[in-house]
Amino acid sequence: MNKKPAPALRIGIIGGGISGVALALDLCRHGHLDVQLFESAPAFGEVGAGVSFGANAVRAIAGLGLGEPYRQIADRTPEPWQDVWFEWRRANDAGYLGASVAPGVGQSSVHRADFLDALAAGLPASVACFSKRAARVEQQGHEARVVFTDGTDYRCDLLIAADGIKSSVRNHVLEGLGCEAVAPRFTGTCAYRGMIDSLRLREAYRAHGIDEHLVDVPQMYLGLDGHILTFPVKHGRIINVVAFVSDRSQPNLTWPQDAPWVREASQREMLDAFAGWGEAARVLLECIPAPTHWALHDLAELPGYVHGRVALIGDAAHAMLPHQGAGAGQGLEDAYFLARLLGDPQVDGGNLSTLLAAYDALRRPRACRVQRTSWEAGELYELRDSVVGADEQALGAMLASRFDWLWNHDLDADVAEARERLGWAALSTCD
């Protein structure tokens, strides 16, 4: 007598950003899974400009089967500086302090919207549902139910919240764990963002006798309570600029509740924020006539990412400052980890709890460390590190190797440990 095949495991993903779409794209290839993705907007779309990926994130992208579409749109530092992540320079005179090198990867970056478009292009139309904003989540037995603001609902065996720093699902998980709700917190740091045509910047530097090498290679200018970064996107045609300034006048600053996190700003306001910086920084900022101003928020480290059949990934779990270029990369690591496990036909309702426990146990400590060190990186860049301060020699030495642990993490070893916890055999090399 033939055994009746088990029904497909129903997986719901809330949020159509990079990590949510990347996970859905991998999971929908498996016949034992029934995947639905819900996005609150009427179409896919990303807010922001350039996004940088470390070597760890590039490996996760390749592991999710997205290596080729990523390569087609990604920017890298040009030869002979192809391994440079950032060159570090003084704010006042652009003097060279050192470089961080990521062999084989260098500065790997894309325009956020371009990357999301490339991901979404491979997603079957039946998987995505738009204009679906989660209002509340309930759990009964081994089933999760999400109710949307339009009154409809969806029931599944596993609900994955990839709905960003303002997640509507996060507090359901925390309450289920007996913990207090967590809201985004203002970090005290704001950023002016802009995009410059690379030819225009090159001409401006040439007119002022500034070395055009500063256009060719990703740069980070470091000053007291501020830093400015530049790197190319759109195959070098555009230079992405982010100019950070931190208010350290008092601890635990709050952002006005009714104030937007993102607004338009004047060039004068931006230039005044960096008064006293050197000519290279001033000329760079003068090429941005209409910057946007971003109030940077993050999350406290969460005590757990899983409650029952609901799990948090990406910024919903571990939103962080962008100072290591690691936020989106951590979401992709989450997606890779879950994809490798949920994509195995051995997964079923009986071992899903063990799988989720492994996710929480193995992913959360790393993501929390990346959150913590991203804040510490900002202190270092802005000459506020308690040990290094403004010691240029110590600063250059620390920045040369500071990111190695982040970039060289063995995510497949985490997956192997999770499989061991599940009692599954190790994956063969052809899997």
Q: Which domains does the chain have, with CATH numbers?
A: 9-77+108-184+300-382+409-422 (3.50.50.60)
- Phi-psi label, residue 151: left if phi above 0, alpha if psi -120 to 50, beta otherwise: left
Q: Specify the pairing of strand 9-14 against strand 33-38.
A: parallel
Of 59, 76, 170, 193, which residue is the catalytic one?
193
Supply the pLDDT for residue 3: 59
Average pLDDT of the segment spanning 179-190: 97
Average pLDDT value for the chain: 94
Proportion of the chain above pLDDT 90, given as a percent: 84
Supply the pLDDT for residue 320: 98
C-alpha span between 314 and 371 (Å, rounded): 12
SS3 for 389? coil
Q: List C-alpha distances in Å: 190 to 164, 254, 265, 375.
A: 19, 12, 12, 13
193 is catalytic: yes
- Higher-confidence residue of 421 and 232: namely 421
C-alpha span between 64 and 90 (Å, rounded): 39
Proportion of the chain above pLDDT 70, given as a percent: 97
427 confidence band (pLDDT: 50, 70, 90) = low
pLDDT tens sequence across 113-141? 889 988 998 899 899 999 999 999 999 99
Q: Tell me the β-bridge partners of 297.
A: 186
Supply the pLDDT for residue 363: 98
C-alpha span between 423 and 262 (Å, rounded): 47
- Higher-confidence residue of 427 and 135: namely 135
